[in-house]
Each structure stands twice: as C-alpha cells, then as structure tokens.
Amino acid sequence: MSIIKTMAKHSKSQWDGFSLKPRKEMPEGLWLKCPGCAKLLFKKAVEENLNVCPECNYHFRIGAEERLKYLVDEGSFEEILTDMVTADPLNFTYKGTKYKERAKAAEKTAAGKEAMLVGKAFIKGRPLMLGVMDFNYLGGSMGAVVGEKLCTAVEMAMKESLPLVVVSSTGGARMHEGVVSLGQMAKTSAALARFDDHGGFFISVLTDPTTGGVTASFAMLGDIIIAEPQALIGFAGPRTIYETIKVELPKGFQRAEFLLEHGFVDMIVHRKDLRSEIARLIDYCGKNPT
C-alpha cells in the first residue's frame, strides 16, 4: 500500500504546474531559412554577421541602409540630391495604378526617395564619392533620377579629385520611364568616359542581383570590378533567356564565380572584407586626376 501511495505522490508531482491552456506561439521573425544551405538560422546571428549565413557564407540581399552601415566609416556619409524624385515623363499607368503612386509607396520600403543614394563618404579614412543602389526601391531600377544622381556624383568626383565607388543592386532599367530610362545607359557611360579621360578611379561593386540596363552600362565600366560571392550578374535573367531561345544554359553561368573565371569581373570579395579591399585599392590603384 505504501508503494502505491509513493507512486501516486511522484505521479502527482510530475503534473504539478501542468496547464491545458494553449502554449504561447513563438514570435515571428526570429528565424529564417538560408537559401544557400537550407539551414534554419537565428536572424539576429545573421544580422550580426553582416547578413551573411554563418554556415555556408551565403550573402543575403541587403538594402542601401544596411550597405552604408557595413561599408562606410560611421557617420561619414553626406548624402546629396535627397529630394530628387521622378517626374513621370510618360504619365505611366499599369493595371490601374499610376507610376507616381507606386514610386511614393516604394519610399516606405527603401532608404530614400529613389533607387540610388549618392554622396561623399569615408572608407577606412579614405575620402570618396559613393553611389549605392537600393533594391528595396522598385527593384533598384534605373530611371532618370538614378542617371542624374550618378552623373552628378561623377562630376563631383572629378571636381574634387576623389575616387568613385558605386554599389549596384538592380533589376535593370525602369520600364515605367521607357526610352527615358534607356537613355540613362548612354548618359552614365558618357559621364564615366569623361571621368576616365580626367584620370579618375572608378570601383564598381556588383551585388546580387545586378542585371539589365545597369549591367549593360555603368556597372561593367569600373577600373576595378568587384563582385560579392554568388551574386547574380547578367543582362537578361535565366528564365527570360530560356523563354526567349528555349536553351538551358550552363548552371551558374551568371554567377560571380563564372564571370570571374571568364574575365568579366576582377575579384570576388566577401562582405566582411569589402571595406579593407576598397581602401587597399584606393591606396595602390588610385589615379592622378589632371
């Protein structure tokens, strides 16, 4: 009898504090799945690792705000042309939504009022002109404002004898502005040609993705072209190419590693090393403006 009582007592103690109330759900947004290795990652740990997977080094896409935080000396970025917005040259409307309305809504997800931020900055104490594209603003697409901002940055770099660094993250030319957007390809390329004639030094940094008209213009015109690991870089995307010519191209043919192997980029640099590499390049490869 005593054994039965003892067992009952232990059984009761095991259920002390037990409740039939439903458990609290785990807060959303604490974990994320890595597209590279498919492992479940603690989001904070990924952010502390510059938004790079600590398991496989997959580089997550980041916006212009995070890019500036990781790249430039703290508090050194002095942005210019902050209020420049599209004039909607075609009065474009798609499925009942006006382009200007879409552009205004995009500001809520982006770091600024357009798909590129430009200004002066320091990287490890080296002064430079910097342009950072923001994929969070209409896919980082290039319209008239992006073209004007980049050309202004080029002119200022020439005037003040500063190196130019541009970080691309884009889906290409902006369809909402039609031929006006396509015209920015020639405009930015011409500005960089003048910069080169002047003796300027241009570093182009390609991140995932860098495609379309940006790839076909200023992104591939750097004196030094740097890519982040596994960045998608090309003109048309893989799906578009397949739908057009019905040919399966080699696996990874538009990734940074393939482009490095075939001479289209000069180096692949891990995000944690980008600051140091840019500073080193400015020290050793900087030109002497005339």
Instruction: Point out the least confidently predicted range of 40-44, 62-66, 193-197, 237-241.
Output: 237-241
Q: What is the pLDDT of residues 201-219, one digit of tens each?
A: 999 999 999 999 999 999 9
CATH of the domain at 200: 3.90.226.10
pLDDT of residue 242: 85
Residue 240 lies in a domain: yes
Decide if pLDDT at 57 tops 90. Answer: yes
Residue 2 lies in a domain: no
User: Do 43 and 80 have their domain in common?
Assistant: no
pLDDT of residue 26: 53
User: Do 82 and 199 have their domain in common?
Assistant: yes
Per-residue confidence band for 7, with pLDDT thresholds at 50, 70 and 90: low
Dihedral over alpha carbons 66, 51, 127, 137 (to 10 degrees): -40
Decide if pLDDT at 21 tops 90. Answer: no
User: Do 41 and 98 have their domain in common?
Assistant: no
Q: Which bin fits 246, alpha (ψ -120 to 50), beta or left (φ > 0)?
A: left
User: Do 99 and 156 have their domain in common?
Assistant: yes
User: Do 210 and 129 have their domain in common?
Assistant: yes
CA distance 159 to 290: 10
User: Do 86 and 148 have their domain in common?
Assistant: yes
pLDDT of residue 23: 59
User: Do 50 and 70 have their domain in common?
Assistant: no
How many distinct structural domains can be found in the chain? 2
Phi/psi for 178 (5° steps) reads 50, -130
Residue 111 lies in a domain: yes
Q: What is the pLDDT of residues 218-231, one digit of tens each?
A: 999 999 999 999 99
User: Do 69 and 53 have their domain in common?
Assistant: no
User: Do 47 and 86 have their domain in common?
Assistant: no
Residue 164 lies in a domain: yes
User: Do 168 and 244 have their domain in common?
Assistant: yes
Residue 124 lies in a domain: yes
Residue 43 lies in a domain: yes
User: Do 30 and 123 have their domain in common?
Assistant: no
The percent of residues in the chain predicted with pLDDT above 70, rounded, is 89
Residue 232 domain boundaries: 61-285
Q: What is the mean pLDDT of the chain?
A: 91
User: Do 171 and 185 have their domain in common?
Assistant: yes
CA distance 11 to 23: 22
